[in-house]
Each structure stands twice: as C-alpha cells, then as structure tokens.
Structure 1
C-alpha cells in the first residue's frame, strides 16, 4: 500500500534554539503510523540559521522525511505549493513550523477521512499555551492574519462533536480559516487548489476548499494539532481591501445568490473588515491610518456589500456599516471610544456537589466600561439597542432592533488547561432574565453548568491537572470572562469522583479566579490550592489561623506544621503544629487550625509586627500557601490575599504589605 498521509511544513529560519520548532519535528517523527505509511515534507524557504543542515541530518536517518531546498521568498505560500505538488500521500496535511501534532493525529484523521470519504477533514485544534516559544516572525506580504491564533480563546463551535457530513455554516467552519486541514490529494488536483501569494492567502484557499468539497468531516473528540500562538498579523488597508475582494470573488464563483452567499459574505466582512473599526488597535492608530482604513472599507462597503446583508450582522457591526455608508469617520471613532472597555461580568451564585458532579450556579451580564449595565429601549414589543454615545443616525428601529438576538442569548461555560490550551465545553442550561425600568430593559443570562470529571472531555475523563473555568455569553454583545471569587463564603470541599476515583477540588487562583484541580499531587498541594480562603482570629495572646482543607483522608492525613517566615526585617521563622479536622466530603471542607503566639514587640517564638509568609511542612517538604499574615504594631493580625478579586490585575504580596505598613504608620501618627 502507498503513502497514506503527506505532511507539508513550510520552514523559514525558526532558529536552532527554538524549542517549539524542535517539538514540531519530534511530533512528526513520533507518529503512530508506521514510517512507510506517511511522509514529512519540509519546504525550507532559504533558511540561513542552520535549519537546512539540521533537517538534512534528520532526512539522512529517516527515509520518510524529505527536505525541499527553495530560494528565499519570504512567504510560506511557495513552500506549501511546492510541497503539495510533490506529495505522494493519499491525503495531505498542512501545518506550520512551530505547531505540534499529537502522536495519534495522522492515524486518527486518516481513518476518519477514509470512513467519511471526505475531501476535507478538520482535526481538533488547540492553541499552544501562553508563554510557549514562538517561531520566526511572520510579516511577509503574502501571509494572512492568523485569526485563529489568539490565545485563551473559548472552544470553537466547530468542535462540538464529530461530523461525518459537516456544513460550513451550521458547523461554523468559517471560524477555522487556517491551513490546518487534511485534504484528499485527488480533490486538490481535480480542483487545482493551490495557495495564492496575495493577502488573505489562507482564507482564500480555505474558502475555496470548503465550497468545492463534496464531503467535509470534523474530528472533534480529541486534539490533533497544537497551533503556534503567534500574534495576529496586521494587513494594511490596501492589502485588506485587495484580499477581501478576492475572498468575495471566490464566494461568488462557488455559490448562487441567496442566504448562503450573504451569510458567508457577512462572516468575512465582519471578522476581517468591520472588526478593525473598534478596539485598542483602532483607537491607538494614527489619525491618518484610521482615515485610510475608513476610506478603503467604505469603498469596499459601497462596491460589494448590499444593504440586505446587514440583517446577518450583530447590532454593533450594523452600526459601523451605517456610519461607513453615511461617510462619518469621526462618529466611528466616537462609537469605538464609547464601546471600549465593555466587558462580561460573571457572578457565581452557588457552588455545590451533586453526586460527584460539580454544579455552578451563574449569572452573566455585559457591562459598560463604567461598570453599569447595558440598557435597551422598549418600543412596540421590540427591544432596541441604545448606542453607548449619543450618535445621530443610529436610531432607526430596523438598524438597532435586537429582539431576536436577545431571545437567543445564552450562557456557555468551559474549562481550559492553561498548560496545553485544550478547552472543553460543559453542559449548561441558561435562561434570559429581564428587568424593565421606565421603558428601559436590562438583560442577563443565568443558569447552571455541570462539571463531571468522568465525562467532561467530550465523553472521556478530564485529564489530571489544573483547569480554569471560563464563561462566555452569546447574543447581543458576546463576551467571555473568568469567574471571580464571591464575597459570600463559598465551599471548596473536594470529592473523590470519576473512575478511577480521583480527588477533584474547586479552588481560586492568586487572581481570585475559579479553577478546578483534578488529582492534586499531594495532600499539601490540595490545601495550598484553597489557602487563599484562609481566615485569622485574635484571642488573648494568640492568633488562630484557619485554612480550608478540601479533603481529609480517612486516616486523618499526615502530621502537619505551619511554617511562618518574616518577609522583611531579620528574616525570622517559626514552626507551629497544626490540627487537621475533617469535614463532610462534597459538602463541608475540613479545617487546618494553628494557634500562633503574637507579641507587639516580637520574639523568637512569636509573631511580631511585620508581614509573614506561611507554608505547610509535611514529611520535611514544604508547600507555599496563597496568603500572608500582617501584624500591626498594635498586635492586630490580618490576612493578606495574594491577589485582587474580580478580575483586577494581580498584585504582589510585597506591595500589599508595603501599603498595609504605610496605613498602620499613618494611623499611629
């Protein structure tokens, strides 16, 4: 049997010390397919950093690796096209030089593509984690903006389930515009599909492939490729105008007039064009840059975007289109300034365990930049959007009608592994809440999400590790947010859940954001995860420090000491025995209680004025806790949190301590 899959990887000066490129190469060499069943084609774009020699050395020892030595072009387009031309595989997979495949990716994608008789198969993608090494900068004119490369993104709707017959609109395939596809080589040749060396090359290729394919399949149940987290590239206004016109030409050539064409037009127009007219980048651009962008997008709008297409756009993009048609660039800037800073607020109303499943009771709402709610006008049984600034020309009911959009508002909750970027959507049920005050209406979504670690990974157990909990709201003003620790006391009790049984602990980050730890590495780690919820009480000459314990083993756990170290001053330290009291698994957390001597003047065996950092010592091993103790000159003891709550930027414990000492000094003087 011949080669099943050819992998084409354009390469350009990734750097010999680039860990991400090394991981990419290793992932390609360690595939589960036998070497004779797949080939790897590195198309080197004239690298001058030693990459050619490195790849040639790999090819000498691996018969299924080929290296194409190309003259420098400054774009991945030529490498991809030459690679496609020489590929021998039944299918061809495209990826970039700092992406990484999972070991079974090619085998699983090929098997599903054959079963589905697919022309195009999209394997599940995950954004590489924050701080991962990056590849060489991309800035060549032929490169498209990597709209799929933003970090910390929510789950892509296209990966909600496996699809043997996917639809480009119903299954949101246009939200996957990059080259990461498995394509039938017969399909590529019959359609003469190649990348064009022009702006929006990826979008042009992908749109044509989607619209030409008889069968598109989606492998969603497991991650296939971890995508390089390179920043989005920026096209100048003229290149954007050229690229969008070319994309619309492809759509025209492969669709008939009607709803499908209009919806595809609306997607690319909104994502690639109208999105440029808001946000920090737009507001901080030089006035002449904004004027040029406005000029090209206005021209594109008048030439290619009929007014009936506006119905397929959300309300804020509709407002931008109206101002483009009215030739009002100053009003566009005013709208962007007034809208900037709007955000989603997620309130945790309750957190509880229900037979091994963590239930989150949530309420989410979009807030204005000043923290106030967004209000809608009520008129003739319709809800009308009110622009955040009094801009004339944006009051026509048909333009600002959001009745249907409000009816579709829903809350989505997902978990994200910060180490791998993998995300999974949780089952959630939500309803739309409304409150009317003098003709104005406030809208929010509320409901419950359920986290079952035995099935949260698309029917499979959630892997061990820390999982962030994120919330997204779809509807009138979509947005996403983390869940902040509420002011009310919230349980952090853990349970043994799933099969095999693993400890699962809800916890809060140093920023005060909700996460879930599956299978903590140790008893002390489980306590450290929730230690930001510590409390202290002064009684007589002692301070009683109470730290929650998510789960106490039936044996009662090991012997524990609380170690306290002075952060400044003489660097004193002391160790105090701790008592661990069990709670009720899944309902009430246990407690770690220590009795610490306190003195206004300090001493070797007591806490004195200053800031103290605590840690747990178990079997001569220590784990840092996520709080501090501040002792004033009057002997008062307070808990210092390691970070601020409700999404503010993190602050160092040291800064908190300095502010506390200044406040104490001010009171004393």
Structure 2
C-alpha cells in the first residue's frame, strides 16, 4: 500500500451537522485523494455523527478510516489514537467543526518541502463570529522559529506537522488536563522543530463558532481547570527553555492571554472566598516565571494586571476588570499623563499613594501612536517639498516640536531639518468621539539637496525620511509616506539635476511594502541609464543619407541640451550630433548625415552629462545609403564586426569591382 503524503486526523464528538462539510472539504483537496488518508476517531458521539460518518465512508470509498471508541472527555485521546494509525509523511489535525480551503494541503506540503520545515501554519479564518489569532499571519514566513515570530500565539494543533518530528520526540497529547491539553503538544513541537513556515496569503483553515456552544473552549467553565493548564505551561517553559529573552517572549503569551481569560472569564464569577484562593494560586504560578525584565515584553495593561495579582490585590483587580469592560464599550482611548518626556496611561490607581503601584505599570511612552498623512511630495529643482500633518495620538498639539529627520540607511548619518507648523482645524474629530483635538498638527518642509547636510550638500546614499513628531515634551519618530493623499505618487521619480556639485542623479521613491519616502542620491538602487530606451535606427525617408535614431527617456527631468550622439571611427576621428526632444513628450531623435562622415568604421554612443550608453547594432537588412562626393560614388552600410554594438562602414565605392559587377553576364 502506497504511503500517503498527508494523514488528516479528526477527533469527532457530537459534530453534526458540521462534520459533513469538514469531510467534504478534504475530499475536494487539490492535492488529490490518492495523496491523503483521513482518520476520524468518533469519541462516543450520541447525536448522529456515527451514522453520518458511515454514510460519508460510502460516499468517499477508500478515503476515510473511521474508528469508534468510548467518550474520553476531550480531543486529546482520539488525536493520539489517530497518531498511532497515521502512515503519512505529514500529519494535519482538523476539528470536526471546521473545514479547509481547496488548496490548503497542497500549499502546506509545498511550503514544508521547499523550506525543509517541520511545521506549517496556515492562515485561520473565523466563521460565525469566531475570533481567530491574526498577529502571526501578517505576511508569509518561509522559515522561522518560535523565538523570532508570533507563532507561539497560536497553540492549537490545527497545523501541518512532519510525522518524523512527532515520532522522534514521542509527542502526544497530554492526558489529565481538562482544558488546553493541545497546547503542550504544540509548544513542544515548536521548540523541537527544525523550522516553521507560515502561509498568510491564502485562507487555509475555516474555524466555526457552533450555534449550540459545543466548541471545547466554550464548554469548559471554572477557574481551576485553567489554573492547572497555566501551571503546566509555565512548568513546560521552565523545563525546556533557558532563562532569558527567549523564555520571556513565550511567557508573555501566557501572562497576557491566559491571565486575562482567567480574570475576566472565571474569577469574576466566583464567590469571594474562591476568588481569594484563585488569586493566590495565580500569584504562585506567575512568580515561578516572573522577573523585572519581563516587563519589557508586556503591555502596560498586562503589567498592571500581573502586578495586582502578584500582590494579591483582589479588590483592585475587580475594579480593573470593570474598567477594561467599560473601556471596551467606549469609543474613547485612555487619556495620558505626560511628564518628563514620558507618557503614562491613566489606568486605575495611577499615582494613588494608598496602592503605590509603580509607574512602570502605566508607562506607554513607546506605544503612543503616531498618526501622519502626506498631502504633498514634490521634487522641484534640487528641493523636495513635503507637506501634511502628523501628531501623537491622545497628545494635544501644544508646544509642538516636530522636525524632519534625514537618515542615511547604511551608515546612520543623520540630519534634522526644521518644519513649518501649520494649523489643522477639526483634526481628530473622526476618532475617539472627538475627545482629542490636534489643531496644530500640520507641517511643511523643504529638503534641499544642496544644503540639507547642515548647510552642505547631501552625500550619495539612501536617505530615509522621518518625522520626529513632538508635543508637550514627548517625541516619537515615524517614517512617512505610508499614509498619503491619492494624488501623491509613490512611484519612483528619477531625475538628473544641476546642483552646486554639478549634475547629480536623484530618485524620490517609496519603499516596498510600507510605502515610505526615501531619497536615492548617486544611483544606489535606481540607475539613470535604465530610463533610456533606444528604439528604431533607420534611414530618414525624406533624406536617404541621414541615419535617424529615435528613443525615449523616462527621466522625470534632466538639464537642457546635454544629450549628444557621439561617433568615433577606427582611425581616431570623432563626430558629435545633437539629440533633440519632441515637444510635450519624452521621446528624442538624433540625426546623422552620413554623407559628411570621413571614411572609416564608426561606432557610437548616446551621452547625457556623465552617462553614456552604446548604440545598438544596426539591422542586418538595413540597405546601404549611396551618394556622390566630388563625383565619386560613396556608401554607408552596417559593418561586419564581432559584437552587438553599433558599427557603420563609410567608404568610397571600388570602381573596378562596380564595373566588373555590371559586366558579368
């Protein structure tokens, strides 16, 4: 029997009517049924799931292997049973409530094979109002790991695993945990994987919120099951991950998500005595992984929650939970306290001497949002003119100190330029229910290439453009351009301009994918000659001895009159001819009166200031041009030379050969 590429394992319990779509989506996979085996473990269903699985087995003969067992109380045991039977090179876990996109398995296997990764995450989509993790699916990640990405924020096993990884490390689902039994399995798989891939550009997995509330995560109630689970995950980190930033990165997930669920979903519903016990147990668990440095990983709200838990401040925790509920319903972001260049969120108990909660639990300086919009970005001569608005979210535009920052990307050289502050009446009315106003957020700035380097010309390089947006003593830097008016182009604009240092190439462009403005000086990425397209080379129809060369410059601008067509002969003679542009067009024409050229084989190039490019090879079928000079016959025709460059032979006709040719019968 051929070994399947993928073993799909489904743990099914009272999964009607969802299991029908789940199985159908697998049968329709583009990878082909011959590449799959689908193992469904019916965990003691009582609602007709068994009968439906029997029907589906006949609909898709040879695809499904259905195993029936007594109810185990959770999906872990049936998944383990499926693993014992799996034969595929890869294993994909699917819940009976969910379904997959038509190309899911095909894409996942291809991603794993191409990048030699052991696990592949596919983008998850919630159905029926179900929320799904999203932070790890912002972009495709061919190969990453648990410490350098956000993949740890999804610990469900609904992923593709290389079966060799699972067998080598004897990974199975934990028994004895009433909730979260899948998370130790996935966490250990992440930690032992050779690499993890993420597919973010295709909707792979569709997860359904059941109408009957039958999802496992919605059936489990009470704090104790989740306390057991949180304790188990903290122990797993302590046993498998050395102390340091890596462990802190992973602990961040549990100290944010699990702690919040415990407080808001369970502790608030308990009696006072049970609340005190739950709080004490949470504090004991958190203290096993807690240290001051972990604050760098947490948001201010998470720091505050954890502080209150660790200090057993039950009443304050209950008040904070109510504050968070009201904050979620409100359309207004929390106000800030600004002091000594720092920003503190006005969460409960800030600077309350009776509670003495440290300021670090409120410090949001590095999280203050910067809003900006560019309404003008125009290069005129040597100067780039910029305009728009920029402000710090929740910080009124008083004592504005915004300035423009130019920073060379490779060596970090930095120059700061002043901006003109302009009024922006009504700005802010469309967010936070108009609670905050930004009346002086406008800016206008000019970057003159000749003077921007503290009065001197900017050197060659890639100069990224930012704003240091400041008000009331607080300042945050932001790259600009990602938000801009529709009529402000982000397309690269390459020009050749006259400066105090002579003619220089400059390109204003926006980065990919963020769309921020950068000035390219000195052709770091944008070549001038890439904008030259030489077209037809032919004889002028009205002047048969005039060679006409046409082409197109796609530069935004270049100095008047510097373009010439230069010819040189094998005997050392030279000739130059003007290149003229077509009015209101980027096309140009050069005309060479070959009857004026001395005898020889001529090569040629187009010159624009300090740039030059060779003319293309003349067409082989270009007919010779003929004329008389002092009564003698002359001609010009493509020369037979090695290479692909322009070569024109100008010479007197051989009279003896010409006469002999005419006398031949």
Q: TM-score range by the shorter chain?
A: 0.5 to 0.7
Matched with 1:250 is 236
Judging changes above 3 Å, is the alpha-carbon distance between structure 1 residues 202 and 445 closer, same or farther for their aligned structure 2 residues? Answer: farther
Q: Which digits, 9 at most, give the CA deviation of each residue in 1:285-306, with x for residues without a partner? A: 5434433332221222234423
Q: Does residue 432 of the first structure (1) align with residue 392 of the second (2)?
A: yes
For the 8 Å contact 1:237–1:296, the answer to whether it is kept is: no
CA distance in 1, matches of 2:437, 2:184: 38
For the 8 Å contact 2:349–2:355, the answer to whether it is kept is: no
Matched with 1:581 is none
Matched with 1:186 is 164
Matched with 1:400 is 362
For the 8 Å contact 1:394–1:400, the answer to whether it is kept is: no
TM-score (norm 2): 0.52
Alpha-carbon deviation of 1:119?
0.5
Alpha-carbon deviation of 1:284?
5.1
Task: Give the stretch that moved more between structures: 227-236 or 290-299.
Answer: 227-236
Judging changes above 3 Å, is the alpha-carbon distance between structure 1 residues 432 and 344 closer, same or farther for their aligned structure 2 residues? Answer: farther
For the 8 Å contact 1:322–1:394, the answer to whether it is kept is: no
RMSD (Å), alpha carbons: 3.2
Aligned length: 379
CA distance in 2, matches of 1:437, 1:39: 63
CA distance in 2, matches of 1:301, 1:408: 33
The equivalent position to 1:328 in structure 2, one of 282, 302, 313, is: 313
Task: Give the stretch that moved more between structures: 228-237 or 201-210.
Answer: 228-237
Q: Which digits, 9 at most, give the CA deviation of each residue in 1:416-445, with x for residues without a partner? A: xxxxxxxxxxxxx98634535999xx9899
CA distance in 2, matches of 1:51, 1:336: 40
CA distance in 2, matches of 1:296, 1:274: 15
Alpha-carbon deviation of 1:82?
0.8
Matched with 2:259 is 273
Q: Which digits, 9 at most, give the CA deviation of each residue in 1:21-80, with x for residues without a partner? A: 221121122222222211110011122333323323433451121011222212111110
Q: Does residue 201 of the first structure (1) align with residue 187 of the second (2)?
A: no
SS of residue in 2 equivalent to 1:298: helix
Matches within 5 A, 1:174-573: 174-197=152-175, 198=177, 199-230=179-210, 232-233=217-218, 234-278=220-264, 283=268, 285-343=270-328, 367=332, 374-388=334-348, 392-406=354-368, 432-436=392-396
Judging changes above 3 Å, is the alpha-carbon distance between structure 1 residues 211 and 34 closer, same or farther for their aligned structure 2 residues? Answer: same
For the 8 Å contact 2:222–2:266, the answer to whether it is kept is: no
For the 8 Å contact 2:92–2:159, the answer to whether it is kept is: yes
Matched with 1:488 is none
Task: Give the stretch that moved more between structures: 38-47 or 28-37.
Answer: 28-37
Q: Which digits, 9 at most, give the CA deviation of each residue in 1:597-641, with x for residues without a partner? A: xxxxxxxxxxxxxxxxxxxxxxxxxxxxxxxxxxxxxxxxxxxxx
CA distance in 1, matches of 2:20, 2:238: 42
Judging changes above 3 Å, is the alpha-carbon distance between structure 1 residues 331 and 343 closer, same or farther for their aligned structure 2 residues? Answer: closer
TM-score (norm 1): 0.52
SS of residue in 2 equivalent to 1:341: helix
Matched with 2:119 is 120
SS of residue in 2 equivalent to 1:43: strand
For the 8 Å contact 1:178–1:202, the answer to whether it is kept is: yes
For the 8 Å contact 1:109–1:219, the answer to whether it is kept is: yes
Matched with 2:151 is 173
SS of residue in 2 equivalent to 1:297: helix
CA distance in 1, matches of 2:309, 2:318: 11
For the 8 Å contact 2:108–2:122, the answer to whether it is kept is: yes
Task: Give the stretch that moved more between structures: 76-85 or 299-308.
Answer: 299-308
Which sections of structure 1, spanning at least 5 residues, go unmatched? 131-149, 346-365, 368-372, 412-428, 448-669
Judging changes above 3 Å, is the alpha-carbon distance between structure 1 residues 309 and 37 closer, same or farther for their aligned structure 2 residues? Answer: same
CA distance in 2, matches of 1:115, 1:77: 30
The higher-RCO structure (CA 8 Å, 6+ apart) is: 1
Alpha-carbon deviation of 1:321?
1.8
CA distance in 2, matches of 1:430, 1:240: 44
Which sections of structure 2, spanning at least 5 residues, go unmatched? 374-388, 400-434, 442-665
For the 8 Å contact 1:377–1:385, the answer to whether it is kept is: yes
Q: Which digits, 9 at most, give the CA deviation of each residue in 1:475-507, with x for residues without a partner? A: xxxxxxxxxxxxxxxxxxxxxxxxxxxxxxxxx
- In terms of Rg, which structure is larger? 2
Alpha-carbon deviation of 1:91?
0.4
Matched with 1:7 is 8
Alpha-carbon deviation of 1:256?
1.6
For the 8 Å contact 2:238–2:289, the answer to whether it is kept is: no
Matched with 1:494 is none
Alpha-carbon deviation of 1:212?
0.9
